[in-house]
Amino acid sequence: MTHVAKPDQLLEKLATDLNNLLEQRGIDNPLMVGIHTGGAWLAEKLHALLNIKQPLATLDISFYRDDFSRIGMNPQVKASRLPPQVENIHIILVDDVLQTGRTIRAAMNELFDYGRPASITLACLIERSGRELPIQADAVGQILELNDHEEIKLTGPEPLAWEIKRLDKAP
């Protein structure tokens, strides 16, 4: 069984790494954007840990996904909460699990509909194997190698937890 650290430990590590990265890059007033649903839960906690001044923003990327034909439309679409424009703003984009990269691509497409950010820093609690697009996180809580028949699922928001599930293979 793959070992995954406790959520609080990973959040502390992620917050420390993000803080160091922002200092290195000279970014002092970023906009934090959490991707619904797990990324929004994490962003809320990171926003408080990093004492970010700008209000927390959220994205629902349901209409920007490229896999409607495979997985269907998300039945629980939530509203995105972003400033009217993000032109020249430094953004911290937060998601729970980075696997294929398709969620992040969809999130960036939506962000660019609001303007051209100065930069996007990607923070993910867990980065796992299975990349399909050349996207990587700038700050990661933990990197996992999972088999193709396994997935990791975050639950929450209180308490934050996750489990690694074995997927049933289709006949």
For residue 119, tell me if it sits in a domain.
Answer: yes
CATH (domain of 13): 3.40.50.2020
For residue 154, tell me if it sits in a domain.
Answer: yes
For 83-101, how does the pLDDT look when each residue is reduced to its tens digit (9 = 90+)?
888 999 999 999 999 999 9
The first and second tokens of residue 117, run together, are 């950010």
Compute the mean pLDDT over every residue in the chain, rounded to the nearest whole number: 88
Residue ranges making up the domain that contains 139: 7-66+77-162
For residue 106, tell me if it sits in a domain.
Answer: yes
Residue 70 confidence (pLDDT) above 60: no
For residue 134, tell me if it sits in a domain.
Answer: yes
Q: Work out the pLDDT band at 161, boundaries 50, 70, 90.
A: confident
The first and second tokens of residue 125, run together, are 């609690």
Give the pLDDT score at 171. Answer: 45
Give the pLDDT score at 157. Answer: 84
Percent over 90 (pLDDT), the chain: 64
For residue 158, tell me if it sits in a domain.
Answer: yes
Structural domain total, the chain: 1
For residue 171, tell me if it sits in a domain.
Answer: no
Burial class for 6, CB neighbours closer than 10 Å (0-12, 13-18, 19+): exposed
Give the pLDDT score at 7. Answer: 81
For residue 71, tell me if it sits in a domain.
Answer: no
Residue 1 confidence (pLDDT) above 70: no
